[in-house]
Structure 1
Amino acid sequence: MDYTALKIKVTDIVSQSGLLCEDKLLKICHLLRDSIDYYDWVGYYFANHERRELVLGPYAGEATDHVVIPFGKGICGQVAVSNQPFLVEDVAAQDNYISCNIQVKSEIVVPLFVAGKNIGQIDIDSNVKAAFTADDQQFLEEINQMVSVLFV
């Protein structure tokens, strides 16, 4: 997998003028899902700190019922509280997992920081157990760093 080529494409998307932020994020979600075979669902959730919940933003993949997730609930909700990436090799082994699709076997969630504040996260599901590695985490942290300029 060529993470470098994907990062160049993400940089190009982020820098496109005339596109709304949501459209750029949607293009990035589709790019990642279409380019990495074990990225079966890719989406962004954004934090509403006053209500202590995450709200679904742009995504690529099957529709989900989880459009609002309370802080602390599920993998995404835990990342909203911990501010740390969370890589889950086997979602069935997680007590606090929210099932979006019975096909999902593993998940990675990486927070999105702007000026040191967690404003949301990228959430990726895979239908393959133990699909994600430390390389995926580093790659997604870099993607989120590129995306963060959209919110400054």
Structure 2
Amino acid sequence: MSNETNAILNQVIVLLNRSLAAYLADAVPWMGRAGAEVGESLTAMVKDQQQSADRLAEFVLDNGGDVAAGEFPMSFTALHDLSIEFCLKKLLQTQQEAVQYLQQAVAALERAPLAKALVEETLGSARGHLETLNELLAAVH
């Protein structure tokens, strides 16, 4: 596997492992009356992201690469005291950005079909999460 492919996959792994959803799963915001449904959806989203990241990491390691850990953005630390309604808007924004990045990653992996297929699968999941977040945001308003 090329260094470029490894770098792209590592960026996707960090995107998944250090997502806002993953951060909020540990630093739970104030949930209010929407808490149960939002909490369940957030947990499912994080679990799915982790499974995708694990598959990508396994692929990187199987092909002789190293896996990057990454860090949560410092801007996330300001969100844990806010309501879930506010955080949902931010989650929606970061998920839209993730979908855009994954689309670019798929295009960049044209010469690495196995890696491309893994990222396409991740992109499909990310689009599903985006739809779920839109539904949750509509439900809490």
TM-score norm. by structure 1 comes to 0.29
Bigger RCO of structures 1 and 2 (CA < 8 A, at least 6 apart): 2
Considering fraction of residues, name the structure with more strand.
Answer: 1
TM-score norm. by structure 2 comes to 0.30
> Rg: which structure is higher?
2
